[in-house]
Amino acid sequence: MLSTMQDDVPLTISRILRHGMTVHGDARITTWTGEAEPHRTTFRATGERAAQLAHALAELGVAEGDVTGTLMWNNAEHVEAYFAVPCMGAVLHTLNLRLPADQLSYIARHAGDKVILVNGSLAGLLAPLLPHLPGLEHVVVSGPMAEEARTALAGASGVRVHEYEELLAGRPTAYDWPELDERRAASLCYTSGTTGEPKGVAYSHRSVYLHSMQVNMAESMGLTDADLSLVIVPQFHCNSWGLPHAVFMTGVSMLMPDRFLQPGPIAEMIERERPTHAAAVPTIWQGLLAELTANPRDVSTLTQVTIGGSACPSSLMKAFDDLGMRVCHAWGMTETSPLGTIARPPATVVPGSDEEFAYRLTQGRFPAGVEGRLIGPDGTELPWDGESAGELEVRGPWIAGAYFGGVDGDPSRPEDKFSPDGWLRTGDVGVISPDGYLTLTDRAKDVIKSGGEWISSVELENALMAHPDVAEAAVVAVPDEKWGERPLATVVLRNGAAVDFAALRDHLAGSGIARWQLPERWALVAEVPKTSVGKLDKKVLRGQHAAGELEVRRV
């Protein structure tokens, strides 16, 4: 028996756009400008400008299936592109502006960018890449740019340069969005390339639609049209964790920081614009905490904070609790769109109790659309007992099943990130409790294999950052003649702190770390290296140690 439902209605981004424009047309997008008044617009106006942009791109020759890149900050114009490009049947490719030039060039070529939209403040970053992008035909610049960048763009052979507002001016504010196959690619996001070249993940209209629904679930971010979300997580990072699409479903207004990502401006925009929710990686929140400690602000409206990208230290979570900002831990990756788990404690625990806090420190539960399993070193599936540690594998309708164009640009290369039966091998090591809460203990490549036992670098880092004199910490495995590998702890001290390594080692011992896991090797660093999306870049630290660039002391 077949169903009697309208199963052939495709789940497309154009349906999200139309809904946001009509049902939530007065919801706001506010872009911080650094001036007395930010730029303000509505969902309705954003949809109309998206139609104008689609007409302009079509005139430039962008057809269904063509790729349009964006090199842009989080702002209203970027949201316009988020809808215009996929809704017209083309593919949006968000370029990570923090990648080195060679990787930026690589992914623009690999994706096949035909047009690139760029903020004027980033035009100087794009201009040197143009000689390496033979398939690029048009660059569209939004906002003012330096004369040097203008001259460099104008001198690029074979590339026509346009001004964004001039391109949109006078065009129709409605577009006959085509009915697309929901399985078609809507957007391309690339991994940060910490090992090998960045890898492309092509999200479908269907996966974006379903992921947006999950973001809006009460067990996930649970936002409503009464909320204002400060979207700090970059739009080039997993589609800004799905927020720009999700909010058009529910009417959540957005506050976009543009290029003003320093702690001071973020604190000012929270105080002035009064957001109720924000999303960003832990390094952003660590900087904001230091700013609020030095220069207190009224941030009382910001009661929900979503943290992902890397583990949130318990000390940071407690500090934000004291400020009235409730942190909700989440886990995901580019390949998972990114929502994989989110740490909403079960209703059975007492609010404010130690048990509730322990649940909040986990990566959280899997939503209904994501299945998870743990695979041991021998390839067997492990039980959900909260003790058996293995590599996490996931599958679901918004989980990648392959990489765009293969691995490192070679379609013939086997994709070892996927199991023979189609599950994504995440590279994360952890345990799952009987009630479905995931706790990650490390990345498979970062776990320290010492004397046949595993030491969690994440556990050591979180314990170190709980010390009042430690601003940041990263722990990596280094070779050891006796044990194979041992931990090297690198720390950044707070201004004015003078704590010694012996005291930090005693602190770890007092935090419940087993004595055999305590680091003997220590190094002070000015800052911990970060990847382009704000995660600890441990391969850099390992390279610095191998090259003898770190001043390592034994304790």
Q: What is the pLDDT of residue 551?
A: 92
More confident position, 459 or 518 = 518
What are the distances in angstroms from CA 352 to CA 318, 322, 462?
A: 11, 12, 21
Residue 409, pLDDT above cutoff 70 = no
| Per-residue pLDDT reduced to its tens digit, 526-536 | 999 888 777 78
Tell me what the pLDDT averaged over the chain comes to.
93
CA angle 330, 332, 333 (to 5 degrees): 150
**For residue 514, how many C-alpha atoms fall within 13 Å in the half-sphere facing its CB?**
6
The whole-angstrom distance between residue 200's C-alpha and the CA centroid of its chain comes to: 14
Per-residue pLDDT at 126? 97
CA-nearest of 139, 369, 346 to 242 is 369
Q: What is the pLDDT of residue 483?
A: 86
Active site residue 449: yes
The amino acid present at 247, given as its one-letter code, is V
Identify residue 92 by its one-letter amino acid code: L
CB atoms within 10 A of CB 471: 17
* Contact (Cβ atoms closer than 8 angstroms) between residue 164 and residue 77: yes
Average pLDDT over residues 283-289: 91
pLDDT at 410 over 90: no
Active-site residue (options: 384, 454, 485, 520): 454
Residue 204, H or E segment = strand 200-204
Of 1-10, 299-308, 417-426, 441-450, which range is least confident? 441-450
**Count of other CB atoms within 10 angstroms of residue 548:** 8
All residues at 6 or more sequence positions from 539 whose CB lies less than 8 Å from its CB, including other chains: 194, 195
Segment 170-181, tens digit of pLDDT = 999 999 999 999
Q: Over 60: is that where the pLDDT of 414 sits?
A: no
301 given a catalytic annotation: no
Segment 37-78, tens digit of pLDDT:
999 999 999 999 999 999 999 999 999 999 999 999 999 999
238 neighbors 332 (Cβ within 8 angstroms): yes
CA distances from 335 to 170, 202, 400 (A): 39, 9, 5
Burial of 420-453, coded b for 16+ CB within 10 Å and e otherwise, reads eeebbbbbbbbbbeeeebbbbbbbeebbbebeee
Query: What is the maximum span of the chain, computed from C-alpha positions, in angstroms?
Result: 74
pLDDT in tens, 311-329: 888 889 999 999 999 999 9
For 446-554, which CATH class? alpha beta
What is the CB neighbour count within 10 angstroms for residue 45?
18
- Tell me the C-alpha distance between 549 and 363, whole Å: 34
Residue 345 pLDDT: 97
Quickly count: other Cβ atoms within 10 Å of residue 316's Cβ: 19
190: left (phi over 0), alpha (psi -120 to 50) or beta: beta
The single-letter DSSP state of residue 338 is: S
Please report the pLDDT score of residue 408 as a whole number: 60
Q: How confident is the model at residue 453 (pLDDT cuts 50, 70, 90)?
A: confident
Q: Which residues contact 291 (CB under 8 A, 6 or more apart)?
A: 263, 264, 266, 267
Q: Tell me which of 335, 391, 393, 459 is the catalytic residue.
A: 335
List the beta bridge partners of residue 189.
Answer: 201
- List the structure tokens of 171: 């065009």
Q: Is the pTM of this model over 0.75?
A: yes
Judge whether residue 458 has pLDDT over 90.
no
Select from 421, 422, 439, 420 the least CA-distant residue to 430: 439
494-522: per-residue pLDDT in tens? 988 888 899 999 999 999 898 889 999 99
Q: What is the C-alpha to C-alpha distance for residues 148 and 127, in angstroms, rounded to an integer?
A: 10
The confidence band for 195, taking pLDDT boundaries of 50, 70 and 90, is low
How far apart CA 356 and CA 460 sit, in angstroms, is 22
Report d(CA 172, CA 170) in Å as an integer. 7
| pLDDT bracket for residue 411 (50, 70, 90) | low
Which residue in 12, 42, 68, 191 is the catalytic one? Answer: 191
- With a cut of 60, say whether residue 465 has pLDDT above it: yes
pLDDT score of 514: 84
Tokens for 363?
């990566």
Q: Assess whether pLDDT exceeds 80 at residue 470.
A: yes
SS (H, E, C) 210-224: HHHHHHCCCCCCCCC
Cβ(491)–Cβ(524) below 8 Å: yes
Catalytic residue flag (residue 417): no
Residues in contact with 274: Cβ distance below 8 Å, sequence separation at least 6, in sequence order: 228, 301
Distances (CA, A) of 343 to 62, 277, 336: 41, 16, 16
The domain spans of the chain are 446-554
Mean predicted confidence (pLDDT) in 373-389: 94
pLDDT at 196: 67
Out of 151, 219, 380, 449, the active site residue is 449
C-alpha to C-alpha distances, 115 to 91, 119, 147, 320, nearest whole angstrom: 11, 13, 21, 42
Per-residue pLDDT tens over the stretch 67-126: 999 999 999 999 999 999 999 999 999 999 988 899 999 999 999 999 999 999 999 999
